[in-house]
Structure 1
Amino acid sequence: MWCQSCREEYGEVDAGTCKECYEEASETEEELKREIEDLKSKVAFLRLSPPSLELNLSPSASAPDFLLVASSHPPSSTPAVPAHRAVLISRSPVFRAMLESDMEESRSGMIKISDVSYDVLRSFVNYLYTAEILLDEQMACDLLVLAEKYQVKYLKAFCEKFMTSKVNNENAIINYAFAHRHNAKQLLEAAVSLIMDNMSTLVERSEYKELVEKDPRLVVEIYEAYLNKQVNTAPKI
């Protein structure tokens, strides 16, 4: 038989395609599904915007009425990030509660955000407007924390997906602890899977020794998960 895709001969008589082309097509289908899900999430996020506001950062847009400041840096050396009240309250329930009340931020027109760099804050605000973000591993980590704090769930999910794709033997323990702190289930599962596969070298890693000192409870959970896996995969007698 001849494969309908690559036209190479193969031995299976009823599939219509060779194993290599079938696997490649399956991978392509999964990639398309992931892209479609990403687009659906982006559309859902952008639909949260108020229809009365033109969502862009051009000079022709209505003037921003709020300033966000990365308060971990001196105000004199860090520029503020401008934003519209309507965008902030439509994207984040935390901002909505803050700005629709008589809190200081609502009166002053300034929101101070602690423990964040200017670049991360600027990327965060840009995402609120466009649902677009350029990530590296550190930016994804910082933005996930910020997205969790202000309950921007679409951004948190996007950052978690990116971080999950970057999990490897070198960073699995760090990501495991991070995922625990920030309720990132997908990242947690990916990190646990790698840790389980490398238990023999676990105690030799500096990240493991640091985790023992800082949060031994998580170490116990790792070993409990490992023992459960051994029990579940043991051959039946």
Structure 2
Amino acid sequence: MWCQSCKEEYEEEDAGTCKECYEEASETEEELKREIDDLRSRLHFLRLPSPTLDAASAPHSDLLLHAIPSCSSSGAGGDGDAARVPDTPAVPAHRVILASRSPVFRAMLENEMEESRSGIIKIYDVSYDVLRAFVHYMYTAEALLDEQMASDLLVLAEKYEVKHLKAYCEKFITSKVNNDNAITHYAFAHRHSAKQLLESSLSVLMDNMSTLADREEYKELVEKDPRLVVEIYEAYLNRQVNTAAGKDTDCSGRK
């Protein structure tokens, strides 16, 4: 018979496509499903909670966000430097947008807090570029990422409980995990409860255990957080035990 897709001849008589085309079509279908789910998730994130909350009704932004890098808040000037508005431009935003995307901002802006009264919000330990990308995401559910930007945005998303952004950044970082950065990403995932990134990093580490102890990042981890080193070896030993048990079961079944 002839495949209806690639027009090549194949032996099966109970289908209209060959095995290769069928598998390719299945993969394409799964990819389309993932894209649709992603679009639905973004639409849900961007939807305002009430018809009365419309950013268009406020043509001008009513908030100014200021990035306060860590060096500014912990410099020699002490509290005076921390209170000072930095020289970098403010990032404008609508309070209705921030409140609808983040429960932390909602609590801040719906109560009589200083930020709500003044319209000025200082975001500490973040650069201007990261803050601008953060606010842009609040409006568009899009961000131009590299690994550093994704990591910085994930931390900010966790701080302000923007779950959609955190998942978006975690997915990107997970796609970049390799043997060179797995230790760093594993420690980062632990600090920020990023389960998908944690599992991916751990899998790569266990696949390369023979060279793990030779890496500088490993030696730094031993000094800074030996608990994580123990967890890596425990996970590796558990996998070895499960693999051995599986082989034993196979051997028993053949007898």
**Cα deviation 1:98-153 (Å, max 9, x = unaligned):** 11222222222111111111111011111111222221211111111111100011
Contact 2:66 2:86 in 1 (8 A): no
> Match for residue 7 of structure 1?
7
> Match for residue 226 of structure 2?
216
Contact 2:157 2:163 in 1 (8 A): yes
CA distance in 2, matches of 1:165, 1:13: 40
**1:214 Cα shift?**
0.9
Residue of 169, 186, 189 corresponding to 1:159? 169
Contact 1:50 1:86 in 2 (8 A): no
Q: How do residues 1-237 of structure 1 correspond to structure 2 at under 5 angstroms?
A: 1-55=1-55, 62-72=59-69, 75-234=85-244, 235-236=247-248
Question: Runs of 5+ in structure 1 lacking a partner?
Answer: none
CA distance in 2, matches of 1:215, 1:147: 24
Percentage identity across paired residues of the two chains: 75
CA distance in 2, matches of 1:29, 1:103: 49
Give the letter aligned to residue 32 of structure 1.
L
Count of paired positions: 234
Contact 1:66 1:83 in 2 (8 A): yes
Question: Runs of 5+ in structure 2 lacking a partner?
Answer: 73-83
Secondary structure at the aligned position of 1:204 is classed as coil
Contact 2:54 2:96 in 1 (8 A): no
Give the letter aligned to residue 211 of structure 1.
L
Task: Give the TM-score, by structure 1 length.
Answer: 0.91
Contact 2:68 2:86 in 1 (8 A): no
Select the structure that is richer in helix.
Answer: 2
- Please report the RMSD computed on the Cα atoms of aligned residues, expressed in angstroms: 1.9
**1:168 Cα shift?**
1.2
Question: After alignment, is 195-204 or 19-28 more displaced?
Answer: 19-28
CA distance in 2, matches of 1:49, 1:84: 15
Question: After alignment, is 220-229 or 39-48 more displaced?
Answer: 39-48
> Match for residue 81 of structure 2?
none
Secondary structure at the aligned position of 2:213 is classed as helix
Give the letter aligned to residue 108 of structure 1.
S
CA distance in 2, matches of 1:62, 1:81: 15
> Match for residue 79 of structure 2?
none
CA distance in 1, matches of 2:26, 2:180: 29
CA distance in 2, matches of 1:32, 1:7: 24
**1:70 Cα shift?**
0.4
In our comparison, the structure showing a higher alpha carbon Rg is 2
CA, structure 1 residues 123+130, in 2 after alignment: closer, same or farther (shift >3 Å)?
same
